[in-house]
Amino acid sequence: MELLNVDTIEAARGKIEPYINKYLYRTKEVQIIESLDKVLAEDVYTSINVPHFRRSTVDGYAVVFSDTQGASDTIPVFLKVIGEVEIGNEAKKSIKSGECVYVPTGGMLPPNANAMVMIEYSEMFSEDEVAIYESVPYNSNVVQIGEDISEGELLLSKGTRIRAQEIGAMASIGKSVVSVYDNLSVSIISTGDELLTIDKSLLDAKIFDINTYTLLALCEKYKMPIKRALVLKDDEELLKNTIQEAMNDSDIVLVSGGSSKGKKDVSAKVLDELASSGVLTHGISIKPGKPTITAFDEESKTLLVGLPGHPVAAMMLFEVLVMSTIQEGLGKKEERTIRAKMKTNVVSAPGRTTLQLVSLSVIEGEYHAEPIYGKSGLITTLTKADGYVVIELNNEGLKKDESVLVHIF
């Protein structure tokens, strides 16, 4: 009685992956400050040493370290202060044994100086003489040339997700423009005679459109620009024309609803007609999310995805099929996962990958995952969930106390 010739989720990913790799990873040069959360499309090497001078990490006196040996709280060593280094300026005047120079935090050490004494361990004794109450080792409180980053070094590798600190690291070597992978643009089309936009009043057996909102929010989360978001009546011609228009300016067209095997199932037919690949996958052995369709058009370079009409299934398949394939291709590692212990047994759907919603709690310093059940149309099951656990196709279920990987929403 199996009416759909279903793919596993891995097979479905495998069918769209070569197209995504070939057509959708465009690179773009951006100012580093615009690169947050993007993925690096180049290896970043440095052409300078950081720091490019010997830098003090404290406010205090640059000294010849051997001069301070034996100094202590009670028995100071006296040094002659021969000058002061201004922050940002070159320290030209060299010192010799018995002499010192004031250097502020971040300032350059003078030639011959090889340690810093913190000002807290000193006391001015006369106008040009300072008492040192500390014995400092060689290179104490000094950052060496190239200690943070050496000239020619690989600073950041291609495929790195850019966080605030990566932007800081690029700034530190004076790199102002960087090559990143461009975010993919999306069109969202929800179909169904039963859908009402939320500015309307409920009537008959109509329901408010949910998928447009959740998919818009997910695209915003991933910073994917939205080309259009529309709610359409069930009308094959209208759907076809709208998708065709969207293919002209979008990298991904998401069509939600109209994908189950019912009388009004036209998405598959339309996607098959519009995409050069024809329909690649029609039905995935996953729960929820079975009625999912994929296709790729090589002429317009567009990934076409028919998502289930059920809001929970639509959100989950967008994550596990579309986003995970795109991000894996960029070498972006899965970041939002947490190890947890199952609180109860969970039975999986036979012959299908199961996406089990869970809520998390901390018990004695350990995360515990509790399954959340609900019919897949019920959006509130998702608001109670912190994430989901993937139960593989051939796994019969999860056992109480089993360690699982929770994918966090």
Amino acid at residue number 342: M
Residue 262 touches a copy of itself, criterion: CB under 8 A:
yes
Distances (CA, A) of 369 to 11, 150, 286, 309, 340: 28, 45, 21, 27, 6
Nearest approach in angstroms of CB 319 to a copy of itself is 10
- Binding span for a copy of itself by CB under 8 A among 181-189, 216-224, 244-252, 273-281: 216-224
Q: Phi and psi at residue 44, in whole multiples of 5°?
A: -100, 110
Scanning residues 218 to 257, which ones bind a copy of itself (CB under 8 A)?
218, 220-221, 234
- The least CB distance from residue 127 to a copy of itself, in Å, is 16
Residue 28, SS3? strand
- With contacts defined by CB under 8 A, name the span among 20-28, 87-95, 178-186, 391-399 that binds a copy of itself: 87-95
Query: Contact region for a copy of itself (CB under 8 A) — 19-27, 81-89, 237-245, 344-352?
Result: 81-89
Contact with a copy of itself (CB under 8 A) among 91, 323, 326, 330: 91
Distances, alpha carbon 138 to alpha carbons 43, 117, 161, in Å: 35, 11, 38
Minimum CB separation of residue 301 from a copy of itself in Å reads 26
Considering only residues 129-148, where is the footprint of a copy of itself by CB under 8 A?
Answer: 143, 147-148
Helix (H, G, I), strand (E, B) or coil at 66: helix
Token couple for 407:
């994918």
* DSSP secondary structure, 104-138, as one string: -TTPBPPTT--EEEEGGGEEEEETTEEEE-----T
Q: Does 11 bind a copy of itself (CB under 8 A)?
A: no
Shortest separation between residue 193's beta carbon and a copy of itself, angstroms: 4
Nearer to a copy of itself, 23 or 119 (CB): 119
DSSP state of 188: E
CA distance 79 to 57: 20
Per-residue contact string for residues 186-205; x = within reach of a copy of itself by CB under 8 A: ------xxxxx-xxxxx-xx
**346 forms bridges with which residues in the sheet?**
398
Q: Which is nearer to a copy of itself, 280 or 316 (CB)?
A: 316
Question: Counting contacts by CB under 8 A, is residue 176 touching a copy of itself?
Answer: yes
- Residue 246 backbone phi and psi in degrees, to 5: -65, -35
| Radius of gyration of the chain, Cα coordinates, nearest whole angstrom | 31
- Closest contact distance (angstroms) between CB of 55 and a copy of itself is 7
| Per-residue mark of binding to a copy of itself, 278-297 (x: CB under 8 A) | --------------------
Q: Which of 64, 54, 66, 62 lies closest to 122 in space, CA to CA?
A: 62
- H runs (alpha helix) in 136-235: 164-172, 211-221
When the beta carbons of 123 and 129 are compared against a copy of itself, the nearer one is: 123
22 or 261: CB nearest a copy of itself: 261
Q: E-assigned strands of 137-199?
A: 142-143, 154-156, 177-181, 186-191, 195-196
For residue 44, give the H/E element and its range: strand 44-45
User: Per CB under 8 A, which of residues 54..73 are in contact with a copy of itself?
Assistant: 55, 57, 59
Which residues within the stretch 311-340 sit at the binding site for a copy of itself (CB under 8 A)? 311, 315, 335, 338-339
Of 63-71, 79-87, 238-246, 266-274, which segment contacts a copy of itself by CB under 8 A? Answer: 79-87
Between the alpha carbon of residue 148 and those of residues 53, 88, 106, 145, 228, the distances in Å are 11, 18, 14, 8, 46
Q: Which of 33, 75, 124, 347 binds a copy of itself (CB under 8 A)?
A: 33
**Span near a copy of itself by CB under 8 A; candidates 259-267, 276-284, 296-304, 347-355:** 259-267
Minimal distance, residue 398 CB to a copy of itself, in Å = 13
Contact 22, 276 (CB under 8 A): no
Residues near a copy of itself (CB under 8 A), total:
106
Which of residues 145, 216, 230, 393 is near a copy of itself by CB under 8 A?
A: 216
Provide the strand spans (E) within 263-333: 279-282, 286-287, 293-297, 302-307
Q: Does 127 bind a copy of itself (CB under 8 A)?
A: no
